[in-house]
Amino acid sequence: MKIVEIKHPLVKHKIGLLRDMHISTREFRQLAREIGSLLTYEATSDLPTEKITINCWSGPTEIDQIQGKKVTIVPILRAGLGMLDGVLELIPNARISVVGIYRDEETLQPVPYFQKLTADLDQRLAIIVDPMLATGGSMIATIELLKASGCKHIKALVLVAAPEGIEALKKTHPDVDLYTAAIDQGLNDKGYILPGLGDAGDKLFGTK
Ligand SMILES: O=P(O)(O)OC[C@H]1O[C@H](OP(=O)(O)OP(=O)(O)O)[C@H](O)[C@@H]1O
Ligand SMILES: O=c1cc[nH]c(=O)[nH]1
Ligand SMILES: [Mg+2]
């Protein structure tokens, strides 16, 4: 399994700002979106390109364009919506497949409650976005429902990943590539990532 922890100074700086317990909702939203863009830039660096000829002002000119493969972005509700605009800034034509899953607070098991996927998933690269990979349960459930609908090529983009979630993902779906802005220390007894960000959904939506 490919695991990429982005070491770029801009990413490190922005993830550090996100950890401030006094961060405002507005700042949290802006940083989640910006890091979403930077993760997308890295995650798409291996997309194949092909040469085509266009009419440039100076005459026919060969240019590079991204080959064949189309993209669907998959935000996991709610918190994944906080990264969606950042991905769309770089891939504005992408289809969006929405998955609603929350984590039961007691059992930490993922509970699916919504899904609306784009039709031709077997021909698309799916880019799943969710700020937090904690136990990995929500991400794994999302990957399973995408694969059940024919999806064959999946990348997961998260702001913060716990080693426990990475291990679970490695075991179940080694074919999925993971891009993260930080790999943190681990989970506390309530399944929250340490040092982490706290509850990303509540911070993005201003709830609690
Ligand atoms: O790796 P896991 O242990 O499954 O935990 C991570 C999940 O928990 C959070 O969602 P949450 O359940 O808080 O839902 P929300 O986005 O609606 O707040 C987070 O956004 C992930 O989806
Ligand atoms: O640390 C965590 C773990 C799960 N969900 C969050 O929002 N934060
Ligand atoms: Mg939440």
- Pocket flag, ligand 2, residue 182 (CB < 6 Å): no
Q: Are 75 and 108 in contact (CB under 8 A)?
A: no
Can you give the pLDDT of all 208 residues of the chain as single tens digits? 999 999 999 999 999 999 999 999 999 999 999 999 999 999 999 999 999 999 999 999 999 998 877 999 999 999 999 999 999 999 999 999 999 999 999 999 999 999 999 999 999 999 999 999 999 999 999 999 999 999 999 999 999 999 999 999 999 999 999 999 999 999 999 999 999 999 999 999 999 8
**Cα 88 to averaged position of ligand 2 atoms, centre (Å):** 24
Name the active-site residue from 29, 33, 103, 124.
Answer: 103
Residues whose beta carbon lies within 6 Å of some atom of ligand 1 = 76-79, 102-103, 108, 110, 130-139, 165, 191, 199-201
Cα gap 32→134, rounded to integer Å: 17
Q: Are 177 and 1 in contact (CB under 8 A)?
A: yes
In sequence order, what are the residues at sequence separation of 6 or more whose Cβ sits closer than 8 angstroms to the Cβ of residue 167? 136
Q: Which atom of ligand 2 is nearest to the CA of 196?
A: 1
Give the annotated binding-site residues. Answer: 78, 103, 130-138, 193, 198-200
Cα gap 182→194, rounded to integer Å: 11
The count of C-alpha atoms lying within 13 angstroms of the C-alpha of 30, restricted to the half-sphere facing its C-beta, is 7
Q: What torsion, rounded to 10 degrees, do the Cα atoms 33, 35, 38, 44 define?
A: -80
Assembly ipTM: 0.98
